[in-house]
Structure formats: structure tokens, C-alpha cells
Amino acid sequence: MELENGKMWLDGKMLSNEEAKVPFLNPALHYGLAVFEGIRCYDSPKGPAVFRLKEHLQRFLDSIHIFGVMNMPYDLETLRTATHETVRVNNLRECYIRPLMYLARGSMGLNIDLMEPSVGIAAWPWGTYLGEEGLRKGVRLLVSSFTRLHPNVFMTKAKVSGNYVNSVLAKTIASRAGFDETVMLDPEGYVAECSGENIFMVRDNVIYTPPKASILEGITRASLLTIAGDLGYEVVEERISRDQLYIADEVFVCGTAAEVVPVREIDFRQIGIGGRGPVAEALQSAFFDTVHGKGKHSEEWLDIVDL
Ligand code: PPE
């Protein structure tokens, strides 16, 4: 895997995968005490362009703040420079970027004030997350029997590694049952998000998406809300039930890894025309133009890496 040949930034040094080993006795590994981000860099006429880098790094710092880690040693500008350096050193024009803060040293036990963070940033080429065909024809979803995290069990605004066990449990069952992704309901039974994407539906030309309270505040979600406004769509953030999804004209999901993906079926019910609908197609096309430097917001949202 190309990942293994790449170099990663680790606490200020560029290391090979071989050099960037972590010891078995570290609290992050034992308790899931880490925070991550997922960012994409796209090729553009001006060079490799990182999509909404500052917003992702701000969410990274916010996740660490929510988690309550008080000794994070790096600020946004240091992380931004390190991200650029990682893309440059690996000679990548298009890649997925993974910053990770992990509580690496200090005592075992459950008090994070006795632990010290390390921060790493890796980058690797990562193709379509839910498949090339899914982007064009739509994917199949299963509503999960697992519940999305209650905000007082763990805060959904923070991309804490341990939180993702919930997503992994849900996604694995869906994959084993032959589905592409899984929709998770919140503790009250309303649609929250997918294991790794936010979700939208369309009915009578109005776009609906669940409110922020019980979901990760997706950066792709926020970008699509802006783009939908530009394209003249009415957008409503409100609670959605699973049967509202079943009878929607269109459903689509979005995230950094997944990008913008139409949904053709949920729980064995065909959604709309059973393929990519016109709203998903319009948003997908505007999104891909934007990330490749050809959209209304490209200038504002793309952070170009000098080679
Ligand atoms: N909800 C969840 C639970 C989630 O993990 C993601 C990103 C999103 C929504 C969309 O957020 P944003 O990327 O800011 O638009 N999921 C990341 C993890 C993927 C992985 O498998 O790892 C991602 O897309 O990078």
C-alpha cells in the first residue's frame, strides 16, 4: 500500500512509516484517546488545493478542546504549515490527509491530565470511498440497529477515535449484509447521520437535513448548504424520520472521504427513481467544480500548496 512508502509529520519531524512506530504501552491505544480529522486535497490549475483546510484544523482543535485535553502543543498555523509540508514531501497532487492527536505518553489509567499528546499528519492517495459506481448510480443503505451516540454519552461534535467504535459496529454489519453504508438514528429515533457521512433528502424540490444537535458538523455538509443556496434551492434543517427518507424524491450523503453520493435504496425500498436524482447531480457537479478550482467559492475554500 502506498501509505507505507509515504512520509508523515510527527511532532515536527518528517518520518517514514517504519520510523513512526508507537509503543505498545501508550494510553491512546488502550482507551481510544485520540482525535482525528479527515481532509482532502484536490488537483487544481494552481497546484494541489486543500479543501477548507482552516475549517478542518479548527474543528480538530475544537474536538481536542471538547475532549478536554489542555496541553495541546500546536496552534492552527503550525498545523497548517505541517499539512502543506506533508503533501509537498510526498509529491501528492490529490490525497486524503489525516491529522491525529493521540495521548501518547504518561501514566496508564483514566485521567487525561496525566498524559501528554503527540500529533501526527499523514497523507495518501484515497480513491472514492463508496465506489466509483456509487457516485453515478447511487448506493444502498441499511438503517442501523445501533443508535448514534447520545450527546451525554459522547459529544458528537468531536472526532474522538473511541467514538468511532460506534460507527465501526454499524458499518461492519451493513457491509456484511451487502449494503454500502448505514444510516444511524439518534437516541430518540430520528435520522442522525451515516457511519461516516451526513445525510440529506429532497422532497418537492426542497432540501432537508437533520439539525446539528446530534451529528458531526460536517464541513462538506456546510459547503453543500452554501452551494444549494447559490443554486437557488430552499434548504431546511429539521428532524427527519426514517419513513420520511423512504418516501423522499432523493436522498444523498456527503463527507470528506465519500464526497457527494446519491442513494438509490434504503432498507430494500427504492428511493425516488432508484438512481442519481437531479438535485444530487447538480450539487455533486457544483461540488466537484469547486474542489477542482472552478467554482464560485474555490478561491475562498481552497488552500493551495506551493510545490
Ligand atoms: N459524520 C461522521 C460520523 C463522519 O465521520 C464524517 C466524516 C462526516 C459526518 C462528514 O464530515 P465532513 O468530512 O466534515 O464533511 N468522516 C470521515 C471519516 C472517514 C473514515 O472512514 O475514516 C471523513 O469523511 O473523512
* Whole-number Å distance between alpha carbons of 39 and 41: 7
Distance 44 CA to ligand 1 centre (A): 23
Q: Which of 165, 216, 217 to mutate to test the pocket of ligand 1 (most atoms within 8 A of CB)?
A: 216
Q: Coil, strand or helix: which one is 17?
A: coil
pLDDT at 267: 98
Which superfamily, per CATH, for 132-291? D-amino Acid Aminotransferase, subunit A, domain 2 (3.20.10.10)
Identity of the amino acid at 284: Q
Give me the sign of the Cα torsion angle 281, 194, 157, 36: negative
pLDDT at 3: 65
Domain boundaries, the chain: 7-124, 132-291
Beta carbons of 304 and 274 less than 8 angstroms apart: no
Low-confidence residues of the chain: pLDDT under 70 = 1-4
What confidence tens digit (pLDDT) does each residue in 257-306 have? 999 999 999 999 999 999 999 999 999 999 999 999 999 999 999 999 99
pLDDT at 1: 43
Distance 55 CA to ligand 1 centre (A): 14
Distance 277 CA to ligand 1 centre (A): 23
- The CATH number that domain 7-124 falls under is 3.30.470.10
pTM summary value: 0.97
